[in-house]
Amino acid sequence: MKKLVVFDLDGTLAQSKSPVDAEMATLLKALLRIVKVAVISGGGWPQFKEQLLSSLPHDESLTRLSLMPTCGTKLYQYEAGWKERYSEDFTREQKTKIICSLKQVIERSNFDSHKHWGEVIEDRGSQITFSALGQNAPLGKKTQWDPDFAKRKSMKTLLDDLIPEFSVRLGGTTSIDVTRPGIDKAYGIRKLRDTLGVAIGDMIFIGDAIFPGGNDYPAQQAGAQSIGVRDPDETKRVIEAILACLSAPQTTSTERTS
């Protein structure tokens, strides 16, 4: 029996930059009644509040929920309110180098000619995120921009040469996340192991970008049993299966041999 179910946020629990829907909120509430849950995302804390917490009931079940913005470089847990347990931010010099490199690659790739909805480069403290069409772009526009990841893979190649001392990952539908070296969802999984005392072998990770270069792939590399999903609708079916398994009466070895 697994002791912790870990989710990605964007594209897994909710459509990009959108709140989880009523069905997902109900399933998460049911899951929190019987097992610990964590969410790791490249998004910042405000995104967690808007996309996830606004749809969940504020009750004692939240004490079984751990939230890790910016790939686990921040941790929030519930104790009569949400408390930030730690935050591992960039230095000013690191931020300057990353932002300048992103601007250079955007110009070389000719991606600054698109219409933007909100910030294209966002400083999240412990992570710098590029969003090709802006943070608030309509979902339809975002899903059409880079459906095969080719544009962002090209950008990642350029960024890997410019800032090799940092980790560059593809995230969401139009974004690229830059973190300190070694900071990815594998780091978040290990932090959950250390803070919650749950062995990685006792975790399940669910995400929509579990492929080489995807920002969910490091969770699998860390050793967590991983389930890839296409979208939130498929995640719902996975949660239903987990609920069925966790709720089923457990047969003892004596009962199996009798």
Mean pLDDT of the chain, nearest integer: 90
Give the model confidence (pLDDT) of 44-67 as tens digits.
Answer: 899 999 999 999 988 889 999 999
Catalytic option among 8, 146, 184, 216: 8
What is the mean predicted confidence (pLDDT) over 160-188?
89
Catalytic option among 10, 146, 184, 216: 10
CA dihedral 173, 73, 196, 57 (to 10 degrees): -50
* pLDDT value, residue 43: 83
Bind-site residues for Mg(2+): 8, 10, 208
Question: Cα–Cα distance between 50 and 224 in angstroms, integer?
Answer: 27
Bind-site residues for alpha-D-mannose 1-phosphate: 124, 175, 177
Range list of β-strands (E), the chain: 4-7, 36-40, 65-68, 74-78, 82-87, 121-123, 128-131, 167-171, 175-179, 203-207, 225-228
Q: Return the CATH architecture of domain 4-87+183-257.
A: 3-Layer(aba) Sandwich (3.40)
* pLDDT value, residue 16: 80
Bind-site residues: 8, 10, 124, 175, 177, 208
Q: DSSP secondary-structure letter at 227?
A: E
Max CA pair span of the chain = 71
* pLDDT value, residue 112: 65
Does residue 252 surpass a pLDDT of 60? no
Answer yes or no: are the C-beta atoms of 167 and 179 closer than 8 Å. Answer: yes
Active site residue 160: no
Q: What is the pTM of this model?
A: 0.77
Answer yes or no: are the C-beta atoms of 53 and 9 closer than 8 Å. Answer: no
Does residue 168 surpass a pLDDT of 50? yes
Q: What is the CATH number of domain 92-179?
A: 3.30.1240.20
Give the model confidence (pLDDT) of 118-129 as tens digits.
Answer: 999 999 888 899
Q: Model confidence at 33, in pLDDT bands (50, 70, 90)?
A: very high
Instruction: List the domain boundaries for the chain.
Output: 4-87+183-257, 92-179
Active site residue 10: yes
What is the mean predicted confidence (pLDDT) over 79-85?
92
